[in-house]
Chain A
Amino acid sequence: MRRRAIGQVLLLAAGLVVLTVISAGSVYLVNQSREDARWVLHTVEVENQISLTQLQLRRAESAQSSYISTLLPDFLTDFENAASQLTPDLMQLRRLTSDNPVQGRVIDEIIQLSTQRIEEFRKTIALAREEHADDAARIVREGTGREAMSHIDDLANQMRAEEDRLFALRTASADRSQSLAASMTGVGSGLVVLLAGISIFLVRRSTRARDAAEEQLRDNNLNLEATVDARTADLREANDEIQRFAYIVSHDLRSPLVNIMGFTSELEELRGDIFKRIATLGRATAGAGGEIEPALEGEDKQLSEDFTEALGFIKSSIAKMDRLITAILNLTREGRREFEPVRIETRELIESIVSTMAHQASEAQAEIRIAPLPDLISDRLALEQIFSNLIDNALKYLKPGVPGDISIRGRTKLGFAIFEIADNGRGIDPKDHQRIFDLFRRAGEQDRPGQGIGLAHVRALVRRLGGTMSVSSELHSGSTFTITLPLAWTASNRNRDT
């Protein structure tokens, strides 16, 4: 999964790089083409300027020859115009070609020749003006001028050829730049499309993988639920089994106990008869009869007392065993009772419990404070038993000589109500925190009556109501019992065992 994510990032980065390269390249190539175009334009300009220069030269020449033949001052003006135009044109041409040394040399030659030609023209014109038309015509005819002229044309052609070559070169370069730009854009776009394709493929693949994983998760959840249901059913069955077992065992244990107790009492009566007879016999041997109740003496008295003591132990043990069995029976009976969820005003319920314990509380000089408590939907009887057991314990195990202070607080959290029953009593050693919840187990000083059933019973009830309970306490510094119960208990979450 992580590798795939890194791949995605790399892919995106690659796409970004490609796009950047394409953009930079395009900008560069566009600049390049603009440059090429400028150079092409430049070439055209140079050629144009060459033609312009040649034209001026021709104009000067034709004006000169016309003047010589006609001597019309109009032609003289034309000539002067052309001659004066020629020099700036030449200068312009030279400036234009300043970048190219070959052209520079040619242009210098052209300038030189042109200047000569113009000088020649001026000379002939001057001759013509001074009525030496023949001389002028001769000079013209001699043809040195013609030669120079054709040389200039050659040079101009040479320049033009050079410019043509450059033009071709520059056009080609411009074309190259353009096609390079086009191909670069093309390749770049292709790459981007390819990357996008790969990206889409990867995304789809990961989507498929995620769907598969989700499916798997759903299946697992279903399996888990089924497993949990099966386990819960098993547990419930085991629990029912234990309940039945406890019920039958305790029930069957009572039967022999009835006999033991019954016949112990029979023995007690027999004892009375026996010792009465012994006493009577003793009295008879002593010779003193009478109506008075016979009394035992010496060894007989000792025997009688031993007998009574043994019977007393047997009877108290039986009584204890009977209480334990009754407790188990009650617990199993409680475990089999159907819970009935009803809306309960907790504060009212606890106030009524507290009012039934008012006597006990005043004896212990204890004050019971009830904070506002969240209401819930639960089984009323079970809640009554839970709270009355805990409050009863709090009252029972106060520190002697210290006025009791018991507080009952409550709050809600995530669909659960949390109740705290705190006291300032004798506290419970942390090593006993587990033990006190065990059936028939007690902790601390054993100076109060009890079977060790209350907390075991409370915890069983809390569990059946879908809650949990815990204790936090230190010796001599009070205890706080915390009960967490669902705000709305429904028969379906736990009590399906009917």
Chain B
Amino acid sequence: MSKPVTIIMIEDDEGHARLIERNIRRSGINNDIMPFTNGTAAVNYLFGSDGTGGEHKGTALLILLDLNLPDMTGTDILRRVKENKYLKCAPVVVLTTTDDSQEIKRCYELGCNVYITKPVNYESFANAIRQLGLFFSVIQVPRSAT
């Protein structure tokens, strides 16, 4: 049996965080959501006090990542997560307002699993988030290296 997936949400805008959370809940996902409003706190949690990320060995994580953070760029976090041997298996969903093709390409190159542009149009946004929920339930997050 795999442990339930914990959703790490790194999003500086509380409104966005609330909307994302609501929509995730609305689509029937009841997993734990850990919100972080800045990059530093998220990094501290992810990589632990020793900076190795060893604390999360064996836990199933899913990271929702905003690219525009006040203290660091989301791509930095993405790169560090994907370079870490304990965390690299955790799926990363990039959620941002940027629909710049260059940036999207860069995120995929760094290893992000899904890139979702936050559309202002609420219906499509909600739809995207719901699809994300569907995606969560479909994807079996693999157990990290044991």
Taking Cβ atoms with an 8 Å cutoff, the residues of A that contact B are 251-252, 254-259, 261-266, 318-319, 322, 333
Size category of the B interface is: 10 to 19
CA distance A265 to B125 in the complex (A): 11
Distance from B74 Cβ to chain A, minimum over Cβ atoms (Å): 13
Q: Are B122 and A257 in contact (CB under 8 A)?
A: no
B118 on interface, CB distance cutoff 8 Å: yes
Residue contacts A-B, CB under 8 angstroms, 5 given: A259-B16, A262-B125, A264-B122, A265-B126, A322-B121
Instruction: List residues of B (1-46) whose CB comes within 8 Å of A's CBs.
Output: 13, 15-16, 19, 22
Q: Are B98 and A251 in contact (CB under 8 A)?
A: yes
B50 on interface, CB distance cutoff 8 Å: no
Residues of A within 8 A of B15 (CB): 256, 258-259, 262-263
Taking Cβ atoms with an 8 Å cutoff, the residues of B that contact A are 13, 15-16, 19, 22, 68, 97-98, 100, 118, 120-123, 125-126
CA distance A254 to B68 in the complex (A): 12
CA distance A255 to B13 in the complex (A): 8
Q: Are A258 and B97 in contact (CB under 8 A)?
A: yes
Distance from B106 Cβ to chain A, minimum over Cβ atoms (Å): 15
Residues of A within 8 A of B100 (CB): 333
Q: Are A319 and B68 in contact (CB under 8 A)?
A: no
Q: Are A261 and B22 in contact (CB under 8 A)?
A: no
CA distance A256 to B14 in the complex (A): 10
- From A252, A257, A266, B120 is in contact (CB under 8 Å) with A257
Residues of B within 8 A of A256 (CB): 13, 15
Q: Are B19 and A263 in contact (CB under 8 A)?
A: yes
Distance from B38 Cβ to chain A, minimum over Cβ atoms (Å): 15
Q: A251-B97, A255-B13, A266-B22 are in contact. Are A261 and B121 (CB under 8 A)?
A: yes
Distance from A244 Cβ to chain B, minimum over Cβ atoms (Å): 13
Residues of B within 8 A of A257 (CB): 120
Which 5 pairs between the two chains have the least Cβ-Cβ distance?
Answer: A259-B15, A265-B122, A262-B19, A254-B97, A322-B120
CA distance A255 to B67 in the complex (A): 12
CA distance A268 to B123 in the complex (A): 12
A247, closest chain B residue (CB): B100
Q: In this complex, which of B22, B97, B120, B122 has the most chain A Cβ atoms within 10 angstroms of its Cβ?
A: B120
A337, closest chain B residue (CB): B102
CA distance A36 to B106 in the complex (A): 115
CA distance A259 to B97 in the complex (A): 11
Distance from B69 Cβ to chain A, minimum over Cβ atoms (Å): 12
Q: Are B68 and A255 in contact (CB under 8 A)?
A: yes
CA distance A266 to B68 in the complex (A): 24
Residues of A within 8 A of B98 (CB): 251
Q: Are B68 and A261 in contact (CB under 8 A)?
A: no
Q: Are A262 and B68 in contact (CB under 8 A)?
A: no
Distance from B118 Cβ to chain A, minimum over Cβ atoms (Å): 5
Q: Are B125 and A258 in contact (CB under 8 A)?
A: yes
Q: Are A262 and B122 in contact (CB under 8 A)?
A: yes
CA distance A166 to B15 in the complex (A): 138
CA distance A265 to B19 in the complex (A): 10
A263, closest chain B residue (CB): B15
CA distance A212 to B7 in the complex (A): 79
CA distance A252 to B123 in the complex (A): 21
CA distance A258 to B66 in the complex (A): 13
Q: Are B19 and A259 in contact (CB under 8 A)?
A: yes
CA distance A319 to B122 in the complex (A): 10
Residues of A within 8 A of B97 (CB): 251, 254-255, 258
